[in-house]
Amino acid sequence: MRSIWNGAISFGLVSIPIKLVNATESHSISFRQIHVNDGGRVRYRKVCELDGEEVPSAEIGKGYEEADGSIVPITDEDLAQLPLATAKTIEIMSFVPAEEIDPLQMDAAYYLAANGATAAKPYTLLREALKRSRKVAIAKYALRGRERLGMLRVVDDVIAMHGLLWPDEIRAPEGVAPEADVTVRDAELDLADALMATLGEVEMASLHDDYREAVEALIVAKSGGAFEATEAVVEPAGGQVIDLMAALERSVRAAKASRGEADGGGEEEVAAEAEVTPIRRKARAGARTGTGTGTGAAAPKAVGGKKSTAASAKKTASSAATKKKTTTAGAKSTAGKSTSRTAKTAAKSTAKTAAAKKTGSGAAGASKKTATPRKRTSA
Contacts of 358 (CB under 8 A, 6+ apart): none
Is 164:110 a contact under the CB 8 Å cutoff? no
Rounded Cα gap, residues 320 and 305, in angstroms: 26
Task: Give the gyration radius of the chain's Cα atoms.
Answer: 50
Contacts of 166 (CB under 8 A, 6+ apart): 149
CB neighbour class for 46 (10 Å; exposed up to 12, middle 13-18, buried from 19): exposed
328-350 confidence digits (pLDDT tens): 444 444 444 444 454 455 555 55
Bridge-based pairing of strands 71-74 and 62-65 is antiparallel
206-242 confidence digits (pLDDT tens): 888 888 898 988 888 888 876 666 666 666 555 554 5
Q: Which of 110, 105, 95 is nearest to 6 (CA)?
A: 110
Of residues 344 and 262, more confidently modeled: 262
Give me the percent of the chain exceeding a pLDDT of 70: 64
- pTM tops 0.85: no
287-306 confidence digits (pLDDT tens): 444 444 444 444 444 444 44
Q: What is the per-residue DSSP string for 11-57? A: ETTEEEEEEEEE-----PPP---B-TTT-PBP----B-TTT--B--G
114-146 confidence digits (pLDDT tens): 999 999 999 999 999 999 999 999 999 988 878
